[in-house]
């Protein structure tokens, strides 16, 4: 049996960069294994609306965007729509990657995974190429001390399950009913995550975008470069009308009515906050400043639509009933939302190019034997 170096261009799935600073390591072959875990860099304001809609700020893609193609809700529906399948009774080894086999059954499983998670139909050649890429990603990342513990893979799987309205066990059963092992999905999550961290750790300093590049891209889009250097600054305060977790449902309804009444009387932060503090079991947070580029589009619309001195509509949460008072808005010198978006696009392109190059290097140095 002859040995072959795989020389195809890199077409494997690229997970994208992330923002966690904790993943930056000085890496070298044979170094001590380093468990990369995500660090939450978000500034919690407290209100679920802001927590849910506000990301850590535009930038490189974080864990929450690790696999944009895997939509858990769509997967939940697809599991009901597709028919089940049975594992092959006999497996044929198609290729050995660094001494580890990939079989025809592995290829069939990857094809089924793509159907369930991405609504795509892969050819056998495409599925085999993705499997080879995943093996190379995990192997290369491990060489440089980047790996993901099984417990963390399971947590990621459980998070995906919850987004489809299932427990991890129920999700595994649903996959199994369609002839797909949960190990296949977990292996894919693992490969994407460690590769993203590995690429970022190797080239975090290289993925930088100059302002001149950003303005050139803005000009190409016909954008106003002067406005691209202006941003809106919001001063906000969170108001929580507390409701105990064991309180009956009507208690939340009563507190919601109180919140709406308070909102109707709330005309400025000074007097409105004082009145809110005088109410029973009400928590008013300290002022927090946020700028428009660091807020999601949906939340920006809510803040923009709320006049200064007023509050956002009350929202029922696990803590009780919450709303946000807008104490001030002003235009400041800073990167606009559009400039941040263009900068992120350029950074992501740089990261993708680095990922492709690293995967090609890994393929050239790997032992890939076709059967």
Q: Kindly list the domain boundaries of the chain, sorted by start residue.
A: 21-205+346-370, 230-333
Topology alike, domains 21-205+346-370 and 230-333: no
Quote the pTM value.
0.52
Residue corresponding to tokens 């954008």: 223
Give me the torsion for CA of 301, 306, 309, 311, rounded to 10°. Answer: -100
State whether residue 292 is helix, strand or coil.
helix
- How confident is the model over 137-144, as a mean pLDDT? 92
- How confident is the model over 113-129, as a mean pLDDT? 90
CA atoms of 299 and 353, how far apart (whole Å) = 32
- How confident is the model over 298-304, as a mean pLDDT? 88
CA atoms of 239 and 93, how far apart (whole Å) = 62
Angle between helices 150-163 and 182-203 (to 10 degrees): 110
pLDDT in tens, 187-239: 999 999 999 989 888 876 555 777 677 667 767 777 666 666 678 899 999 99
- Decide which of 284 and 214 is more confident: 284
pLDDT at 289 over 70: yes
- Decide which of 253 and 344 is more confident: 253
Range of lowest pLDDT (27-36, 227-236, 242-251, 285-294): 27-36
Task: Give the contacts of 207 (CB within 8 A, at least 6 positions apart).
Answer: 17, 60, 200, 347, 350, 351, 354
CA atoms of 228 and 336, how far apart (whole Å) = 5
Count the residues in the chain. Answer: 371
CA atoms of 176 and 362, how far apart (whole Å) = 33
Q: Any idea which architecture 230-333 has in CATH?
A: Roll (3.10)
Q: Give 3-state DSSP helix, strand, coil % of the chain, rounded to 5.
A: 50, 15, 35
What is the CATH topology of the domain spanning 21-205+346-370? Answer: Triger factor/SurA peptide-binding fold (1.10.4030)
For 289, other C-beta atoms within 10 Å of its C-beta total 13
């Amino acid at each position: 049996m002859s040995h072959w170096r795989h020389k195809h261009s890199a077409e494997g799935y690229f997970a994208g960069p992330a923002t966690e600073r904790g993943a930056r390591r000085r890496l070298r072959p044979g170094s001590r294994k380093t468990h990369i875990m995500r660090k939450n860099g978000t500034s919690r304001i407290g209100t679920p609306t802001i927590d849910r809609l506000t990301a850590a700020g535009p930038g490189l893609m974080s864990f929450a965007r690790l696999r944009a193609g895997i939509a858990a809700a769509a997967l939940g529906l697809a599991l009901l729509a597709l028919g089940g399948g049975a594992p092959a009774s006999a497996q044929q080894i198609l290729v050995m990657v660094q001494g580890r086999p990939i079989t025809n059954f592995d290829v069939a499983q990857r094809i089924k995974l793509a159907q369930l998670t991405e609504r795509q139909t892969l050819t056998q050649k495409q599925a085999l190429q993705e499997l080879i890429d995943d093996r190379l990603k995990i192997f290369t990342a491990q060489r440089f001390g980047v790996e993901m513990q099984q417990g963390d893979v399971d947590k990621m799987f459980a998070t995906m399950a919850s987004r489809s309205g299932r427990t991890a066990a129920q999700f595994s059963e649903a996959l199994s009913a369609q002839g797909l092992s949960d190990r296949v999905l977990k292996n894919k999550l693992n490969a994407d995550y460690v590769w993203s961290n590995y690429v970022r750790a190797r080239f975090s300093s290289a993925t930088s975008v100059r302002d001149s590049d950003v303005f050139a891209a803005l000009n190409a889009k016909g954008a106003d470069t002067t406005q691209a250097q202006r941003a809106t600054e919001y001063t906000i305060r969170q108001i929580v009308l507390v409701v105990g977790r064991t309180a009956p449902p009507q208690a939340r309804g009563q507190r919601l009515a109180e919140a709406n009444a308070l909102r109707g009387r709330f005309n400025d932060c000074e007097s409105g906050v004082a009145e809110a503090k005088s109410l029973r079991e009400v928590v008013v947070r300290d002022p927090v400043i946020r700028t428009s580029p660091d807020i999601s589009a949906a939340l920006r619309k809510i803040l923009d639509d709320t006049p200064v001195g007023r509050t956002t509509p009350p929202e029922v949460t696990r803590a009780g009933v919450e709303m946000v008072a807008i104490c001030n808005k002003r235009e400041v010198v800073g990167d606009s939302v559009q400039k941040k978006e263009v900068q992120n696009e350029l950074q992501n392109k740089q990261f993708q190019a680095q990922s492709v190059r690293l995967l090609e290097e890994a393929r050239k140095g790997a032992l890939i034997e076709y059967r």
